[in-house]
Structure 1
Amino acid sequence: MTSSPADALDGVVTAAAPDLLALSHAIHARPELAFEETFASAATADLLAAGGFEVDRAVAGLPTAFDARFGSGDLVIALCAEYDALPEIGHACGHNVIAASAVGAGLALASVADELGLTVRVLGTPAEETGGGKVVMLEAGLFDDVGAAMMVHPGPFDIVAARSLALADIAVRYTGREAHASAAPEWGINAADAATVAQVSIGLLRQHLRPGQQVHGVVGHAGTAPNIVPGSAELLYYLRADTADELADLDRRARGCFEAGAVATGCTHDVVTVSPTYTELTPDPWLVERYRDVVGDLGRTAAPREFETSRPFGSTDMGNVTARVPGIHPVIGLDSQGSVTHQPQFAAACVTESADRAVVDGARALARVAALAATDTHHRDRLVAAAHERTRRP
């Protein structure tokens, strides 16, 4: 590296910026749902391949996941690229920015991989919004040798030590019996009524939830016509809590509410796990503080530390990764004109000039933090040792 490592890394990102922004805009223009990100996965992997990465596609049994690798050093840095969109409102969570910034950081680190003793990996991680692609990849061993896993997520402002909630993604399915709603209602067992009782029970439970616990859901379906007693109904719910232990408590109480709907109406019911359970983020403190320093150097103003602990930004399968691997998941700010993630207006903001700056700054920040980890003897040894211990476990 040159006498100014940050300048060297920034220079690579600057040179790649036209391709990074083209990738971000292309993914944004073709939103794809969880596990269907065929275009986004291929476009992201292709750009890495063009930059000299060896790319394994369809890893962990997931057609839209990939593992791109450069270098052979003992410190493995993984950059997570998300690229799934939301139903109807597209990239209202800005995953196009995430993918492009991960590629940019990967290309920058590849330019110094030999000098810093790095193995640089960019992991294409599908289905963050629902499906838990990172959890599947984690369980398949894709993160076993990783010293540090990193990504940035766009938001209305910069948050360094972003907080997330543990999450359970479930479907509650009621089975009753159809009948003519006018001629023979007594023959029916109303699954829609079961769903209604369950929703009322959940509404009453909310008064007594512990701090940090949340319940929210929608009706998936509840009948086909007014003159047919609904024989089936489905509720789709997210349960969230500050920690996995608190989530287990909430899950127990919510299941009682769902059972109440079945008991009250005579239906049967099943509670089905839709996605793997997400755990809360536990970012690595040292990496967090290096990122805080770096974004300050880039001219960004992060939210105060007290704000970081006051409000979660949602839930993410990156929490499962940080539970096993040292990592960070900061939020990088863009001008969203007052909108927040998961609003159509935020989707529009994710291809603006401000979003483009977030792609470039995010790539620079991640690359700089990885370089700092590689050149700090104590923390490099810590990260390498933890990865070696992880790979030795049966």
Structure 2
Amino acid sequence: MKEKITKEIENNLDSLVSISKCLYEHPELGGEEYLAAKTLTDELKDRGFQVEEKICGLETAFRAVYDSGKAGASVAFFCEYDALPSIGHGCGHNLIASMSLGAAIGLKSVLDEIGGKIFVFGTPAEETNGAKVQMAREGIFDGITVGIMTHPSPVTEESGTSMALYPMNFQYRGKASHAAASPEKGINALDAVILLFNSINALRQHVTRDVMFHGIITAGGEAPNVVPDFTEAKFYIRAANKKNLMEAVKRVEDCAYGTERITGAKVTISCFEAVFDDMRTNKTLSEVYNKNLMNLGEDRISPASAGIGSIDMGNVSHVIPSIHPWIGFGDENLVIHTREFAERTITEEGKNLIRKAAAAMAMTGYDVITSYELQKQIIEEFLR
């Protein structure tokens, strides 16, 4: 059966590479991935999948299902396809889309014999609003047995953790006045935002070591001789898990309200992007994937890196057993989110990553569907 899966992927590899190259040549930002979504959904329809577009009210999101008509487990693969501003596919989402599509095609070739269902989700805007966050919140993944995706990387690593993320926006409103003639009549919103930065910096010593703060000032006044009446700052608050994250967020809110009291500038706090949960790798499922990848010729899988940033697959992992491994180019000097990384995705190396990752994911899906004992172990770990 696994030979049939790999043969099916090999037979369709040129088509998968063409799709990856098309996305590379036409990069689209998050929420604007119209060509990518159409390309993928058209392909899935041609392959016999039932496709529902614009799910969760998201213009470029989709859900595709192939049902064997027989009882069995369900396996979900996730396509990402948004690009980075000015860089294009420096995160390799063009490869992710083709890898997951290839996995679905490979597993479908045996599904009528083994039973179960395949889901393919198109999940836009991973770099910003993270469609998986809203999809998880609306119950789109409920009832699916496992979720699998693979991300390109400089080196191959097993699925690990990611950091929980809370994006905070602070807007201060003061009162304008002439900075020299009558500064006492003004309320300086810039003073407030500077105090906010100083207060948050003072927090760094008094939070758990996993907590991180990254902030920028997006509005700081218009002219030096005018007391600024409006300022704005954006922060990412990160932590190893949701508990530590929310404790840090509360302390940052206290800082903001403290600067309001000190300066008189009124603060409005909001969340400007989706809140990402930490990634909870299902180790049982991860070990099955690693074994399949090694059998396909991967010579080394490194241990998972700690604190690799934030991914919306984390939200999926809190709903269903999930993995998010990394498939590497074998170049430790390669840096993700660069034009150089984007260019590597359309090389012969990129083609080989599609081949290996698609096969490893499809074979892992096969293992899950055909083993009730494995399903039990995966679910027991998830529920712990």
**Residue deviations 1:111-164 (CA, integer Å, cap 9, x gap):** 111111021110001122221311211222211121111100111111112221
SS at match of 2:232: strand
For residues 240-251 of structure 1, the aligned pairs below 5 Å read 240-251=238-249
In terms of mean alpha carbon deviation, does 191-200 or 110-119 score higher? 191-200
Q: How does the TM-score come out when normalised to structure 1?
A: 0.90
* RMSD (CA atoms): 2.3
- 2:316 maps to 1:321: yes
> 2:344 matched to which residue of 1?
349
> 2:3 matched to which residue of 1?
7
- 2:371 maps to 1:372: no
SS at match of 1:189: coil
SS at match of 1:112: helix
Change (3 A) 1:364 1:28: same
Deviation at 1:270? 1.5
Check conservation: 1:335, 1:349, Cα contact below 8 A. no
What CA distance in whole angstroms lies between the structure 1 residues aligned with 2:280 and 2:381? 16
- 2:63 maps to 1:67: yes
**Residue deviations 1:281-336 (CA, integer Å, cap 9, x gap):** 1122221101111111122244443xx2x522111111111112011111111255
Check conservation: 2:321, 2:379, Cα contact below 8 A. no
In terms of mean alpha carbon deviation, does 171-180 or 97-106 score higher? 171-180
For residues 299-338 of structure 1, the aligned pairs below 5 Å read 299-305=297-303, 308=304, 311-335=306-330, 338=333
Aligned pair partner of 2:296 in 295, 298, 302: 298
Aligned pair partner of 2:21 in 16, 21, 25: 25
Q: How does the TM-score come out when normalised to structure 2?
A: 0.92
> 1:37 matched to which residue of 2?
33
SS at match of 1:31: coil
> 1:115 matched to which residue of 2?
113
Aligned pair partner of 1:191 in 181, 189, 199: 189
For residues 65-144 of structure 1, the aligned pairs below 5 Å read 65-71=61-67, 72-73=69-70, 74-144=72-142
Matching residue's letter, 2:374: H
- 2:208 maps to 1:213: no
> 1:361 matched to which residue of 2?
356
What CA distance in whole angstroms lies between the structure 1 residues aligned with 2:151 and 2:192? 39
Matching residue's letter, 1:39: L
> 2:267 matched to which residue of 1?
269
Deviation at 1:182? 4.3
What CA distance in whole angstroms lies between the structure 1 residues aligned with 2:209 and 2:362? 37
What CA distance in whole angstroms lies between the structure 2 residues aligned with 1:263 and 1:92? 43
Matching residue's letter, 1:66: F
Change (3 A) 1:32 1:192: farther
Check conservation: 2:284, 2:381, Cα contact below 8 A. no
Change (3 A) 1:386 1:206: closer
What CA distance in whole angstroms lies between the structure 1 residues aligned with 2:49 and 2:381? 25
What CA distance in whole angstroms lies between the structure 2 residues aligned with 1:303 and 1:259? 47
Deviation at 1:381? 5.7
> 1:392 matched to which residue of 2?
none
Check conservation: 1:222, 1:233, Cα contact below 8 A. yes
Check conservation: 1:278, 1:319, Cα contact below 8 A. yes
In terms of mean alpha carbon deviation, does 201-210 or 362-371 score higher? 201-210
Aligned pair partner of 2:155 in 154, 157, 168: 157
Deviation at 1:217? 2.0
In terms of mean alpha carbon deviation, does 117-126 or 260-269 score higher? 260-269
What CA distance in whole angstroms lies between the structure 1 residues aligned with 2:299 and 2:222? 52
Check conservation: 2:160, 2:280, Cα contact below 8 A. no
% identity of equivalent residues: 34
Matching residue's letter, 2:30: A
Change (3 A) 1:16 1:228: farther
Q: How many residues align?
A: 381
In terms of mean alpha carbon deviation, does 41-50 or 360-369 score higher? 41-50
SS at match of 2:117: strand
Check conservation: 1:336, 1:346, Cα contact below 8 A. no
Deviation at 1:105? 0.4
SS at match of 1:144: coil
SS at match of 1:161: coil
> 1:48 matched to which residue of 2?
44
Check conservation: 1:77, 1:147, Cα contact below 8 A. yes
What CA distance in whole angstroms lies between the structure 1 residues aligned with 2:233 and 2:290? 41
